[in-house]
A = this chain, B = another copy of it.
């Protein structure tokens, strides 16, 4: 396999751009292709069958670009489809759940880790399984927070309503000796201020983006597949929905003009 092959990153929408930004920062030589399934976002409330079907479809689309790795930058898709995708392709597949779990195990002193995420992610118990696979005696306190994504999508990051919603949803977690809280949804880092105020400054908030990028770097280096070129790579972005908003958010978030291709699925599967 040649090292100029890209890293493919997929997400239900724009949340996975946090992972892209970290990969760009930590591995500036690597070319990235990104697929945001904005026509069908959010995945959180969908059935596992739907999420599985959508994820497979996106992987089939991205695989034609011969990526050297697939990054599932969506917690819900990782929870539901990671092992299926892993066994269907012969390149490494990195999700956002194992890196987040590993970071929490590396950081906790109390051995009690909190996890918040969408209903799909929490229902799957994927974080619990990942945490216990690493460390059998870790205590895991999980909470689905279905009201957080709508708040973020309305840009409502620091209002009184946001603080009240966050307190209602996770205030009870303070009863446990949690010293690490995994933000198990790529939207949640926007609510860091409110979450931190509710949980207290001594609780470390773990966002998967940085950890996932570091794991991408470690695995590519272990496989000797890091890109070698000194030329700046040109990344490519695809989205299944309306492109203007995606372009706006991506340009703003990544600090550069992106090359975006809207994708129209041949067989419409929009639920």
The answer to whether B92 touches A222, judged by C-beta atoms less than 8 angstroms apart, is yes
Count of this chain's copies in the oligomeric assembly: 2
Chain A interface residue count, CB cutoff 8 Å, equals 28
Complex interface: chain B residues within 8 A of A27 (CB):
134-135
**Taking the complex as formed, is A99 at the interface, i.e. its CB lies under 8 A from any CB of chain B?**
yes
The answer to whether B106 touches A210, judged by C-beta atoms less than 8 angstroms apart, is yes
Q: Which residue of B lies closest to A30 (CB)?
A: B134
Complex interface: chain B residues within 8 A of A105 (CB):
26, 217
The answer to whether B106 touches A29, judged by C-beta atoms less than 8 angstroms apart, is no
The answer to whether A218 touches B221, judged by C-beta atoms less than 8 angstroms apart, is no
**Top 8 closest pairs, chain A to chain B, by CB:** A215-B218, A218-B218, A106-B214, A26-B105, A219-B222, A102-B217, A136-B230, A26-B106
Binding site for B on A (CB under 8 A): 26-29, 92, 94, 98-99, 102-103, 105-106, 133-137, 210, 213-215, 217-219, 221-222, 226, 230
* Interchain Cβ contacts under 8 Å between A and B, 29 examples: A26-B105, A26-B106, A27-B134, A27-B135, A28-B135, A28-B137, A29-B136, A92-B222, A94-B222, A98-B218, A98-B221, A99-B218, A102-B214, A102-B217, A102-B218, A103-B214, A106-B210, A106-B214, A133-B221, A133-B226, A134-B217, A134-B221, A134-B226, A136-B230, A215-B218, A218-B219, A219-B219, A219-B222, A222-B222
